[in-house]
Homo-oligomer: A and B are copies of this chain.
Amino acid sequence: MRARTAIIAGAGRLPATLARALPEALICAPAGIAPEGLSVAQPFHFERLVPFLRDLGNRGIETVVMAGAIERPSLDPALFDRDTAQLVPDLLRAIQSGDDGALRWVIGLMEEFDLRVEGVPQIAPDLLIAEGPATARAPSADEAADAARGAEILAALAPVDVGQGCVICAGQAIGLETLYGTDAMLADVGRHRPERAPHKGGTFVKRAKAGQDLRVDLPTIGPATIEAAAQAGLTAIALQQGHVIVLDRDAVLARADAAGIALWGMA
C-alpha cells in the first residue's frame, strides 16, 4: 500500500486533477489560496513552515507533491515561530537566486524533515504528453521544422533561466514567453499578426527548462491553451514528451481536432 501522501496545492486545476488520482491524499494549501474544485484539509502559513512540516510527519505523511501555481508570498513578521524565523536568511538567499533556486531550497528543507518530494512524473505519469501525434492530424514537415527551431531557441534561453515557450512561423520567432506566461504570449501573437506576414500558421512550442527539477513546476496546458493558439492563427502545438502536463486531455484533443491543430509529443 502506498505511503500516505500530502498534496501542497496552489492555484489552477492541476491540484484537483492530482487529488482524483490520489483519493487518500491530505490536501494542504498556503493560507489565502483556494485551489479550484478542492477543499483544503490543512491550510498553513509560510511563516510557520517548520511546525507545518513537523506536523505532516506526525500525521504519518511520507510523500509530498507540490502542484499548482504559488506566487511568492509577502511575509508577516508577527506570524513567525522561532524555528521558521531562523531559516529566513537561507530562504531570502534562495529567493534571490531565482524561482528554481527557491524551489530547490523548499525541496531540500522537506527532505530534512524526512518527507519525500515526488512530482507528476512519479505520481500520475498519464498526465504527461507521450511521444508522437495525439491529435487526428500529425504535424506537416514545415510545422515539424518550426518545432525544431523553437526547441533550439528554448535551449539557448534555458541557461539564462528564461521561458518555457515560444511561437515559430516559417522559421521566425513571432512569440517568446516572458514572466507574463503562455496565455499572454499567445494573445500578443494574435494581436500582432495583422501587422506583417506571415499572417497565419505557426507552431507553439512548450518545453521544460533544461536542468529544471521535474518534481515541481512542470509546464502545463489545458483547453484554454488550445483556444488561445487557434485565435492566434496557429496550426500546431509541439510539447516536449514526458515533460508537459496536459490537463483535461479529452477536451484538449477535441478542441485541437476541431480547430485543425496538430498536437504532438516531440523528443
* Chain A residues at the B interface, C-beta cutoff of 8 Å: 71, 98, 149, 152-153, 156-157, 159-160, 162-163, 171-180, 184, 188, 192, 195-196
Contacts and interface: CB of A to CB of B under 8 A. Distances in A.
27 contacts: A71-B196, A149-B160, A152-B160, A153-B160, A153-B162, A156-B156, A156-B157, A156-B159, A156-B160, A157-B157, A162-B173, A162-B176, A163-B176, A172-B179, A173-B178, A173-B179, A174-B180, A175-B178, A176-B176, A176-B177, A179-B196, A180-B192, A180-B195, A180-B196, A184-B188, A184-B192, A184-B195
Contacts of A171: 98
A174 B175 CA distance: 13
A60 B231 CA distance: 54
A125 to B, nearest CB: 31
Given A157-B156, A188-B188, A195-B184, A174 B179 contact: yes
